[in-house]
Amino acid sequence: YSSLVLRTAGKDEAKALKTFLAEQYKKSAISANVETEYYSALSQTNQQFTIAIIIISFIMSIGGCFGITNTMFAAISQRSKDIGVLRLLGYGRLEIMISFLLESLLLALFGGLLGCAIGMLADGWTANSVLSSGPGGGKTVVLELAVTVGTLGIAMLTSLLMGLFGGLLPSLLAMRVSALEALR
């Protein structure tokens, strides 16, 4: 057996049994835990996974911002004459900046919706892993991918933030384009 569950009359008896087993079997491989401590340790493992996922997502988001920035710089360089025409027609710098920023946000929205649609296909996938093995067997952990409404909301918000931050610098550059220089 790899584990044994004992039921006691109450919380105090459970702590007393844990202390007794820890003292009685110091040199053995027995590890006694109260149920609340056991689930607290499992919760800490889940928190570590969550923190790792957040860090990786943040790094990937920075890469996505650079991708959007690159795309928007290319769009601005290809449409510099169009920007010049707009400036000559009376469009202000702020309006041009807002138009390119909205384009960036629209691209991010489309990419976020596509990513969420693909991510929903992975809902329910599982991964099995053996954490440790030793006398009596090992502990198997099953991770299940759950795509919830909250997860989709965070993904869309992150996507729009990437579009905002990634499109801000190119939009400011488009705003500064001179009408006469663009038409040369």
CA 89 centroid distance within chain: 43
**Is 83 within 8 Å of 103 (Cβ atoms)?**
no
Distance CA 123, CA 120 (A): 5
Q: Which residues contact 31 (CB under 8 A, 6 or more apart)?
A: none
Q: If you ran DSSP here, which 8-state letter would residue 26 be given? A: T
Q: Which tens digit of pLDDT belongs to each residue from 48-69?
A: 888 999 999 999 999 999 999 9
Show the tokens assigned to 62. 């920075």
Instruction: List 35's β-bridge partners, or say none.
Output: none
The mean per-residue pLDDT over the stretch 86-90 comes to 88
Planar angle of CA 161, 51, 108, nearest 5 degrees: 20
pLDDT, tens digit, for every residue of 112-127? 999 999 999 999 898 8
Cβ within 8 Å of residue 126, ≥6 positions away: 142, 143, 144, 145
Asked whether 163 and 68 are in contact (CB, 8 A), the reply is yes
Band (pLDDT 50/70/90 cuts) for residue 141 is confident
Return the pLDDT at 176: 86
Query: Residue 11: is its pLDDT beyond 90?
Result: no
Predicted TM-score of the model (pTM): 0.73
For residues 131 and 139, the answer to whether their CB atoms sit within 8 Å is: yes
